[in-house]
Structure formats: structure tokens, C-alpha cells
Structure 1
Amino acid sequence: MMFQGSAHVPRNRHFELVEQAGGSLNASTWFDRTNYFETVPAHHLDLVLWLESDRLGHFLEALGQETLDNQVAVVKNERRQRYDNQPYGDWDERLQGLLWPPEHPYHHTVIGSMEDIGAATLEDVEEFFRTFYHPGNAVLTLAGDVEPDEALRKVEHWFGDIPEGPPLPPVPGILDPGAVLGETRRERVEADVPLVRVYVGGRIPPATDEEFWAADVATSVLADGRASRLYRSLVREERLANDVISYAFPLLHGRSMMLSWATGYPDADPDALEAGLVRQLEGLADVRTEEVERAVALSESRFLREVERLSSRADLLSMHQLQFGDASRINREVERLRAVTADDIRAFAETHLGPDNRAILTYLPQEAS
């Protein structure tokens, strides 16, 4: 909807103007943040500030039923492509349903169900926009070849007359469902997928908690590179899997989640694949110092490469300001990584990676099931 025009910018003109200036643009939305971004030559700063201020301050003046109907169809098609018609595409929808109770915001996918998307009305869009799209709930980040004082003057010129907006409502639902699930939950799905795949998820501390960093480094020990535990054991030695992944989601409300998965070879035994994953997760209780040092070094290198890129640096600054209230927090990320010890990961494994905190989702090819 936000690219479909505002009071002074006709439909699709936002794209046209940025691309004619030699720039690029897009947007993303995830669990806790929505992000709009443009990359343009520095002398076109006024152009993008005008475009962003017009849709933040004057979007509703261009809102109409035709635009809504068009975008409902677009989002439904996106859901079909990314979830419904993609092998393993609904894994997050299923795993979130296992990990979170219906009253928690993370129980539901960001994109929503077909029913939710189709039920959106103009009144819903207007209410949502008035509630969340205003300067009081926004962070504007400029990164690149700009002179700070002049850039801030331009920001004031383009955004200064937009009202701050109302206070934000509380996040709905039950935010903290508990540190662990209290059991092992399972779901097996026979689907049109090429290979057996097993996902193992669990609740972990939120990204606002210092213990989150132990979880983050633990996923690097598990699956970062060919010397990682999952790759070495399941791919190279036991030949149970052809790919492995582990990731700690940096979520904010109540609890976050950690996910690991392994994709088997044709005719793989799903029980053996699950047992191999679980064995390595529980094995973090005896992680070695040299494994942690390697994982920290890899994570640090990856983070520094992100900061080197202008687009990701701007995104990280924006994220830290919006979610933590402190853009300068980015300067302490490396310190947080380096502070994680083997003892921290052992303690995390003991409290969060046991059978009392496990959601297991298994996909079976229809032909083999």
C-alpha cells in the first residue's frame, strides 16, 4: 500500500523517480519492525526525503478501495509463492504454532492467513496507519556522503510539520508464555517436498537479554561453516544430511526462538535425522573453548562485513535505535560477542536445549511416506 501513491505522488511514481535518479528502493517487514529504504546518489537526498515525508504525512489522502483490492491480490499472490506453493514453505507457520500459544503475537506469521489478508478493509488500513505510521513511532536513518548539519536541516524541512502522533497501544496478548515449552511437541507433514527435512525449535531469551548472545554464538558453533558440529557430524561423518542450518531469531517480546534444521538425502530415515540433530543440540552442554572462539571469530567477521556495506549499516543503525532506543549500541556488538564463553553456552544448553523445550517439525515426501 505504501508504494501505491500519496497526496502528491501518483501510483508507482515513487519507484519511477528513485530509479530515474539512478537509485534503488524496497521495503521489508518482520516480527517487530517494518523497514522502508532507498539508496540514491547523495545529491538526490531531497528527493527521497520528500517522497518519504509525503507518504508518512499524506498517505491516507490517496487511499482508495481500488488500491486496497489491488494490494490484497498482490499479498495473496506473495503468500502463494512463498508459503503455499513452495516446498517446506509453511515451516515457520507450523513451527510458530508449536512454539507459541494463540494469545502470543509470534504464534501467527507476519504475512497472515489468506482469510486475514482478504478480510482487510479500508477502515482497518486507516486505523493501522494512524496508530503506527507517525514520527513518534518512526526512525529516520541517513548513511553515506552527507554533511550532518545540512542533512538534519533538510529532514526538519520535509518532516517538521508532520504531527508526532498518538501514544502507542500496548502489544496485545500474553507476551511471556514461559521460558520453555514444558514438553516436546511434534508435527509430521506429508507434503510435496523432495527430501526429508527435520526442524527443531525452542524458546530462548529475547534479544534484549544478555543471555541471547550465548544462544546466538551457540548456533554458530552448531552450523557456521564446514567445521561446525552439525556439518561435521551429520553431513561429513554420518552422511545423514546434505545441508544444516541453525539460527537464533532476534525477537523482542517475551521470548525469542532458536531453530535448527537438517535436510536428508533421498530415502533418509527421519528418526535418524532427528536423533542426529538432537544429539548435537544436547552436546553443546560440553562445548569446548576453542569451538566457541572459532564461532565468535566467524560471527565477528560476518558482522563487520555487514557494517562495511552502506545499506546494511543504515539498516543496523535503524534497527538498534528503533528496538533498543540506542543507535550507538551497534558499536558494542563485537564486545558482546567476545564476552560469550564456553561456560555461558554450556549453561544455555542445560536450561534451553533439553526435551522440555523442543518443537519438532518433520516433512516427509508424499511418495516415500
Structure 2
Amino acid sequence: MPQALTLQYTIEERTLPNGLRVVVNPDPSSPAVAVNLWYHVGSADEVAGRSGFAHLFEHLMFQGSARVASGEHLSALQAVGGHVNATTSFDRTNYFETVPPGAVDLALWLEADRLASLDVSQQNLDNQREVVKEEKRQRYDNVPYGDQLHLLLALNFPTDHPYGHTTIGAMEDLDAASLDEVRDFFATWYRASNAVLTLAGAIERETAFTLAEKYFGELPALPAPERHAADRLPPHEGLPRLEVVRDVPRPALHLGWRTPSIDHHDHLAVEQALAILAGGPSSRLHKVMVRETGTTEGVGGSQFDLAQGSSLALVSARTRQGHGLDELETQIVDQIQQMADEGVSAEELDRANASYEREWLGELAQIDSRADQLGAFATLHGDATQLNEHLRLMLDVTPEDVQAAVRTWLAPEARSILYYNTQTPEPDTETPTIETPTIETPTIESKEQA
């Protein structure tokens, strides 16, 4: 095994008596400390008729606790030069701050206080419901292509599947939610045994564990909540299709596939297949669709990294003047079929590897991103030290692995199809634009600075 492919970050994990998992990554080269809490709860854990609860708490967690006033968590850490944020996704909700070393005690005290005594009052619930509604209007309802993710989830997952609804949820569900139901959600999922605390950066190992015990050790030792994981879904059959008409600048196409969850051995091979197919200017589809035929202003491919049974892979593009969505679809399907039949070259995989290695190492160089990845590996993979092995595993993927992944998971006959048409007739001439090399697929997470 080439030594360079196995990273050497110092990572240690201990579990407190109350079940809190603490991950420490000392890094004396960092000027700051990242404090990151992953709670193993996301929109996939919501029950029918009560969607949006996980994301709601992303907001409620900043509304005060027994010894902290509403908004004070944010203001206190910003006052000492800290950066604070939170995100919600299908499989987790995380809260994080990057602070000077002298403010670590403050950050941990604030996190522990809201975990122990969050103020889930009727007033806070009512206020934050309205905040979420405004967020939905701004991010989903009143922007071009804002409902793409909702449509894609409906097309690719059954209605009752954990991934069958967006993280922001349905506003009618939030309106119908009682205070007791919201408090029960917090009591069920927000407990020490369902959390991973990561401390990374300018902090010594024993100091980090001592502080974690000091601030979180008195929290009750409750059992971890029971999770009902979904089974892997079968590949699509019959080419499920959805066509909509919206007031958008350009028609858009999304092709989707049910791919394996993040713990499956094929997951990384699917990632590399999508990178070779549609991952930037050197990809096959960019060469054919943007540079050679000009059928699209950009094309992109990505895979949602999901933990329960199935993930979702997408290839997306928007038309250029004089071209149709059916033409884009044919070009994409032809290239996928060619990959399945003929495989990929070592040179293509080397380019994909080089790009991935650059992006991955760049992400880990940032202490806050590294802490977040440690929380991800600890929560979703069960072992934070897998961070050191991830790049090696990705670079171990072979051209044969990629071809097999395309045949198994990205077969043209197993695709779903979303045609996102414009209701505005296209002009006779096209206004010149700066070429956009890629189209980003819809995001699955809510990210807010509360």
C-alpha cells in the first residue's frame, strides 16, 4: 500500500458514560479550534404528517436555554471572533463553531446548556415556524428551479420512504405540529447517546477529553433512540417520467438512478463513474455536449451520499437555444451505454482521481471541514478513523470497478426522467452568454446561520 495514500491525522475517540462519543484531532498547526456536534437525526427520521421537525430544530437550537438568552449563543461566540453555523440533511443535523483556543470552554458550555435545557416554548415554536416559512419562500417557492429537489425525490423514492420528502418539510405539517410533539422530538433525538462531539485544531488530546467530560458528563445517560432503517430500493423499471412546465430561463433535464448507500462497496465506484461522465470540463459529456455539439450550456453529475439503503445519482443539463431536452437525454444515455459496453480508460480514471484528491485534501486542510468529516465518519460509518483511509479506498477503484458500477447502478434502462420545461417561448436569437462548464445538481441540505 503506498504510504502517501493513507493519511496520518491523529484521531482518537472515547465514549463518555452517558453515551456521548467524543472525537479529538489535535493539530498544533491550526490557529483555532473547531467544535462540531453531529446529532444522528435528520428528515429521514420524521414520521408521516410531521415533516420538517429536524430542520425546525436547526432554528430552535439558537432560541435560548436555561442560562442562555435567545440569540446569545450566536452573539457570544461572534464577539470572541468565532464562526457559528448549522445544517440539516436527511441523516443528520449538525451544529458547529470555529473559535480561538481561549473560547473553547465557552463554546462547549453553550452547546451543553442547550442540549440539556433548550427552551422549546410556544412562543419560540411559533416564531421559528414563521422563519422556516420565509426560508421556504426564499429558497424554494420564489426562485427559478426551486422545486426541482421536491420533484426529484417524488420521482425516485416512494412517498412513505424516509427520503421521500425534502428536509425543509411541508408547511402544513409544521402548522399542525403541537408543542408537545415538538418537545417529544427533541427529547427523543437530542440526547448524549445520539451525538458525536468533535474537537479539532489547536487543542491537546487530554485537554479536549477533559473539557468534554466537564461540560457534557453530567447529562443523563439515556439509551440511544431506536432507528428504523430503510431497505435498499430496487432499480427503476419502466423509465418513470415526470414533465413539468415552469417560468424558468432554460429547460432542464435530470436523469436519476437509485444507487447504493454510503456504506456499500460500490458507492465510491459510482462516484468515479459520475466524475468521468459529467465531472467538469474534462468529462465525456462536457466534451460532447458543450464543446462539440453545443446542445447544452453545462452538464453535471453527482450522487447524494445517503445512509439508509439507497442513494440517488443525478445527471443534469439545461438546453441551449435550438436544442431540446430529448436531444440532451439521447446524448447522455448514449455516453452511459458506451461506458457500460467499453469501460473507461486508465487515463480518464487518473484525471478523476487527481481532481478528487485535490478537492479532498483541500477540504481536510480546513480545520472546520475536517472536523465535520470526522463527525460524518463517526456518525454514518461508525468510525472516525476511516477518514484516514477514505482517499486510499477511492484511489483503489479500478477501471473495471467503474465499468461494473455503470452496468449495475447507472444502466440506461434503470433511469428516471424529469423534464423541466419553460413556459416562455425561446427568442429567435440567443443572447451571448459566458459558458458555464457545469450544472450543479440540487442540494439536499438546509444550511443556515441562525
Under TM normalisation by the shorter chain, which class is it? over 0.9
| 1:181 matches 2:232 | no
Cα deviation per residue 1:234-263 (whole Å; 9 max; x = unaligned)? 111110111111101111101111011011
- Give CA deviations for 1:174-208 in whole Å, capped at 9, x if unaligned: x2253301221111110011001100111011110
Please name the residue that 1:304 is paired with. Answer: 361
Which stretch shifts more, 355-364 or 151-160?
355-364
| RMSD of Structure 2 on Structure 1 (CA) | 1.4
**Which residue among 288, 300, 314 is the counterpart of 2:371?**
314
Match of 1:328 in 2: 385
Relative to structure 1, is the Cα distance of residues 181 and 336 closer, same or farther in structure 2, using a 3 angstrom cutoff? same
> Which structure 1 residue ranges, 5 or more long, are not aligned?
none
1:12 has 2:71 as partner: yes
Q: Using the alignment, how far apart are the partners of 1:161 and 1:82 within structure 2?
A: 39
Identity across the alignment (%) = 41
User: Equivalent residue for 1:103?
Assistant: 160
Contact 1:216/1:247 (CA < 8 Å) preserved in 2? yes
Q: Which of 400, 409, 413 lines up with 1:343 in the alignment? A: 400
Structure number with higher relative contact order (C-alpha < 8 Å, ≥ 6 residues apart): 2
Asked if the contact 1:196/1:266 (under 8 Å) is kept, the reply is no
Q: Tell me if structure 2 keeps the 8 A contact 1:267–1:368.
A: no
Larger helix percent = 1
CA distance, structure 1, for counterparts of residue 117 and residue 213 of structure 2: 16
1:22 is matched with: 81
1:185-334 aligned at under 5 Å gives the runs: 185-285=240-340, 286=342, 287-334=344-391
2:194 is aligned with 1:137: yes
Task: Judge conservation of contact 2:377–2:387 (CA < 8 Å) in 1.
Answer: yes
Residues 1:43 and 2:98 are matched in the alignment:
no
TM-score of the aligned structures, taking structure 2 as reference length: 0.79
User: Does the CA-based 8 Å contact 1:139-1:318 persist in structure 2?
Assistant: yes
Distance 1:118 1:245 in 2: 36
User: What is residue 163 of structure 1 aligned with on the other side?
Assistant: 220
Residue in structure 2 matching 1:3, options 39, 62, 75: 62
Matched, 1:150 2:171: no
Q: Secondary structure at the residue paired with 1:165?
A: coil
Question: In the TM superposition, what are the counterparts of 1:29-108 in structure 2 within 5 Å?
Answer: 29-59=88-118, 62-108=119-165
Residues 96-116 of structure 1: CA deviation (Å, up to 9, x unaligned)? 111111221011111111212
Aligned to 2:38: none
Q: Could you report, residue by residue, the CA deviation over 1:7-47 in whole angstroms, capped at 9, with x for unpaired residues?
A: 11000111110110111101001111111000110110000
Q: What SS does the aligned partner of 1:141 have? A: strand
Tell whether the 8 Å contact from 1:4 to 1:11 is kept in structure 2 after alignment. Answer: yes
Q: Call closer, same or farther: CA 1:356–1:103 in 2, change over 3 Å.
A: farther
SS at match of 1:4: coil
Match status 1:116 vs 2:170? no
Contact 1:101 1:177 in 2 (8 A): no
Consecutive unaligned residues of structure 2, counting only runs of 5 or more, are 1-59, 427-450
Change in 2 beyond 3 A, CA 1:77/1:204:
same
Distance in 2, matches of 1:366 and 1:139, equals: 47
Q: Greater CA deviation, 351-360 or 204-213?
A: 351-360
**8 A contact 1:197–1:262 mirrored in 2:** yes
Q: Matches of 1:113 and 1:63 in 2, distance apart?
A: 20
Q: Is the 8 A contact 2:256 2:315 kept in 1?
A: yes
Amino acid at match of 1:69: D
User: Amino acid of the residue matched to residue 267 of structure 2?
Assistant: F
Task: Say which of 399, 405, 423 aligns to 1:366.
Answer: 423
